[in-house]
A = this chain, B = another copy of it.
Amino acid sequence: MLEIVTNAHEYAARWLGVGKVASYIPSLANVEPNQLAVAITDKEGITYSAGDDDNLFTMQSVAKVLLLATALREVGFETVFRHVGMESTGDPFNSIIRLETMEIHKPQNPMINAGAIAVTSCIRGKSAQKRFEFLLEYARELLGNPQLTLDEDTFISEMKSGDRNRALGYMLRSTGVICSNVEQDLEVYFKACSILANCKEISFLGAVLAYGGVSPRTGKQLIDPTHVKYICAIMSTCGLYDASGEFALRVGIPAKSGVGGGILGVVPGKMGIGVFSPALDVHGNSVCGINAMEYLSNKLSLSVFSSVN
């Protein structure tokens, strides 16, 4: 297993130099682009990794999976999906159009920004701080790191430059999809996006999802198995922004990417995958990360659409 991880890293490294790091906030723009790390966590909870596997990055949109898992646990399937849909959209991740055009104004799915904000509004608590702490505690279990924390600089920058998400939030409230305090929702949302992790922790989260919500290390049921199925289905159809369809064809693994350069992959019944490389393609997905995942998918026949199982 270590060999295949090492080979995937080597293969993906060919794309180092391609793509650009996210530039909308300084803490992302200043990241060293030539980082690359690949990790797999298997049935026994053993993690194999290669490259810059201790390097931390902000989870960004990968945290949408955490937000969804937390909201599902707290308020359940019915309530969550009263605030957000299950369908993918051909629109960019930050699009506001359908919040106006759809007869039912709820955002299309939990993986676009508007949907993640609606999901965030389901995570309740006395203050934004309490709500985030609740999420963080759960995230620490799910990523297998009790020290997990956020990058304060990133959070502050996101809050400052978050006008588009602010517009999404107020639009949601204007149509009654959410009735919470938008600024507080954004605080929780941006804090979640600012959580720091390395690729090994991401692969551990993938393994929890791959094994029906059970921690492969402790055997503890961390996520309801039905929720796991839902989360994987949504990652599969909407996880890589408006390149989710192409990724399904080329790779065929339920996954979620973030503009921090991380990609979380879930191979049901088999393994969790975490890759990290901050240079992004035009869709906002890690260039090396996608190639590493494609390599693993092909070498190990991991596509859920493949007949070899």
Residues of A within 8 A of B (CB): 85-91, 95-101, 108-109, 163-164, 166-171, 173-174, 182, 210-212, 225, 228-230, 232-234, 236-238, 242-246, 248-249, 252, 254, 268-270, 303-309
How far is the CB of A299 from the nearest CB of chain B, in Å?
A: 15
- A271 smallest CB distance to B (angstroms): 11
The answer to whether B164 and A174 touch across the interface, beta carbons within 8 angstroms, is yes
Residues of B with C-beta under 8 A to A234: 245, 248-249
14 further interface pairs, Cβ-Cβ under 8 Å (given A164-B171, A230-B249, A309-B309): A86-B245, A87-B88, A88-B90, A90-B98, A96-B100, A163-B173, A170-B170, A211-B307, A212-B308, A228-B305, A228-B307, A229-B252, A233-B249, A237-B245
Known A233-B249, A237-B237, A305-B268: A97·B101 in contact at CB below 8 Å:
yes
What is the CB-to-nearest-CB distance from A182 to chain B, in angstroms, rounded to a whole number? 8
**Cβ contacts under 8 Å, A225 to chain B:** 307
B229→A249 contact, CB < 8 A: yes
Q: Which residues of B contact A88 (CB under 8 A)?
A: 87-90, 237, 244-245
- Number of chain copies forming the complex: 4
B100 to A304, Cβ gap below 8 A? no
Which residue of B100, B236, B238, B307 contacts A95 across the interface (Cβ within 8 Å)?
Answer: B100
List the 4 closest A-B pairs by CB distance, nearest first: A163-B174, A89-B90, A232-B305, A87-B245
Among A166, A170, A182, A242, max chain B CB count under 10 A is at A170
Docked pose: A66 CA to B268 CA in angstroms: 29
Contact A244 B237, beta carbon cutoff 8 Å: yes
Residues of B contacting A238 in the complex (Cβ-Cβ under 8 angstroms): 245
Complex CA gap A308/B304 in Å reads 13
Partner of A100, one of B97, B228, B233, B243: B97
Indicate if the CB atoms of B167 and A163 lie closer than 8 Å. no
Measured between alpha carbons, how far is A281 from B309 in the docked complex, in Å? 34
Check A268 against B304 for contact (C-beta < 8 Å). Answer: yes
Q: Which residues of B contact A232 (CB under 8 A)?
A: 305
CB A45 to nearest CB in B, in angstroms, measures 14
User: From A225, which residue of chain B is reached at the shortest CB distance?
Assistant: B307
- Are A305 and B307 neighbours in the complex by a CB distance under 8 Å? no
Output the least CB separation between A92 and chain B (Å). 9
The docked-state distance in angstroms from the alpha carbon of A305 to that of B307 is 14
Given known contacts A96-B96, A101-B97, A307 and B174 CB-to-CB distance under 8 angstroms: no
**17 A–B contact pairs at CB < 8 A?**
A86-B249, A87-B90, A87-B242, A87-B243, A88-B245, A90-B108, A167-B169, A212-B306, A233-B249, A233-B305, A236-B236, A237-B237, A237-B244, A238-B245, A268-B306, A269-B307, A304-B305
Task: Tell me which of A88, A225, A243 has the highest count of chain B C-beta atoms within 10 A of its own C-beta.
Answer: A88
Contacts of A244 in B (CB 8 A): 87-88, 237
Complex CA–CA separation, A252 to B234 (angstroms): 10
